Amino acid sequence: MEEPRVEELRVGVVGIGWAGQQHLKAYDSLAGVRIVSLAGMEQDLRDSLQAEYSIPNAFAGWEEMLEHGGLDAISVAVPTFLHAPIAIAALERGLHVLSEKPIGRNAVEGQAMVDAARKAGRVLDVAFNHRRRGDIQALKEVIDDGGLGRPYYAKASWLRRSGIPMLGSWFTNSELAGGGPLADIGVHALDYALHLLGEPKVVAVSATTHSELGPRGRGGNDRYTAMGSSHAFEVEDFASAFLRLEGGATLLIEAGWASYRETDDVLDFMVYGTDGGAELKVQGTPLAPVGTLRVFTEKDGENADYVPQALPGKAHQAVVDDFVAAVRGSADGWARHDGSQALYRAQIIDACYQSAQEQREVRL
């Protein structure tokens, strides 16, 4: 049975850091969407954002925000250990939820979130903004149009020189974060790689993790490091994973917060197919809005390499646009937005950590 569309979508945002501010900006740009509540612990910043976006209600805690009510949907942009409790509480109140990645600290939490969304019959989306990059979208068109033939090998990376986020904060605490760069930025590489390859099934993983710089207080900088250290470094600072895909293709994932390499961050993707190959390289700190994309193929026995045109993507704006469109769609369509794809990413990441710990291949 279809439920009536919400003419004015009343949204709240939990979390007022960088990610939460991206959600606020995106919602504010949309007609028919009104930000009615904000929750965040830093009072000065909360007051500033409340004034900037003319938000009627602001709270220190997310529980107060949900209790106050008057919402149709919320964004969850807080540390990973809070994703599941906030999302589940909101879904149980009949709200639609857009959560930052990863879906949770592990697949168990992710499954609980998906179950709550299905039981409530509400939308649960997870923000994977990098697949919305214009260069990744351009490469997606090439692959989907058959320009590379059948892809059989691919590699995706996100690597930093000194990019441990807030050294000594929740990011480096295994209980609060669920993992290091594999869970934090590696999940982005995994997401856009599987997206580009057409969502193949992963049948087995073999992974390794390393923790060489963080435990010695290295690998942070002014951009990423908090001044006060309250947690020991308990996660990896570099990880790599070899994924066997259904049909025989393979995918290599690399994720590093800190290693002795070039200064700029790099986000990349390389793929070999039966009729062509492609390379995408994005550099910078922060990453450049458009990277270098090249396609390698041939015509009549001669090289016919070319550079596809790519424009900057919409990043979080596209994530929020899609979420709002899903919520405004029919109730029958909400079931297609239950967080299950993000849950699958979490299941793969869990298998990678298990593989690294047990030093063996893990089958999914």
Query: Over its length of 364 residues, how does the chain's per-residue pLDDT go in tens digits?
Result: 444 444 799 999 999 999 999 999 999 999 999 999 999 999 999 999 999 999 999 999 999 999 999 999 999 999 999 999 999 999 999 999 999 999 999 999 999 999 999 999 999 999 999 999 999 999 999 999 999 999 999 999 999 999 998 777 889 999 999 999 999 999 999 999 999 999 999 999 999 999 999 999 899 876 655 444 567 899 999 999 999 999 999 999 999 999 999 999 999 999 999 999 999 999 999 999 999 999 999 999 999 999 999 999 999 999 999 999 999 999 889 999 999 999 999 999 999 999 999 999 999 9
- State the pairing for strand pair 57-59/298-299: unpaired
The 10 Å CB-count burial string (b at 16+, else e) for 166-184 is bbbbbbbbbebbbbbbbbb
> What number of H helices and E strands is found in the chain?
12, 16
The DSSP 8-state label assigned to residue 241 in this structure reads E
What is the reported pLDDT for 96?
Answer: 98
What is the reported pLDDT for 347?
Answer: 98
What is the reported pLDDT for 222?
Answer: 66
What is the reported pLDDT for 7?
Answer: 75
Identify which of 91, 93, 88 has the alpha carbon closest to the alpha carbon of residue 108: 88
C-alpha distance from residue 166 to each of 169, 232, 263 (Å): 5, 12, 18
* Domains of the chain by start residue, with CATH: 9-129+316-338 (3.40.50.720), 131-313 (3.30.360.10)
pTM recorded for the entire structure: 0.94
SS3 148: coil
What is the reported pLDDT for 230?
Answer: 61
What is the reported pLDDT for 229?
Answer: 53
What is the reported pLDDT for 221?
Answer: 72
Residue 267 sits at φ, ψ, to 5 deg, of -120, 125
The pair of three-digit structure tokens given for residue 38, joined into one six-digit string: 């904000």
Say if residues 66 and 85 touch (Cβ distance below 8 Å).
no
What is the reported pLDDT for 227?
Answer: 42
C-alpha distance from residue 225 to each of 160, 166, 167, 212 (Å): 13, 4, 5, 17
SS3 13: strand
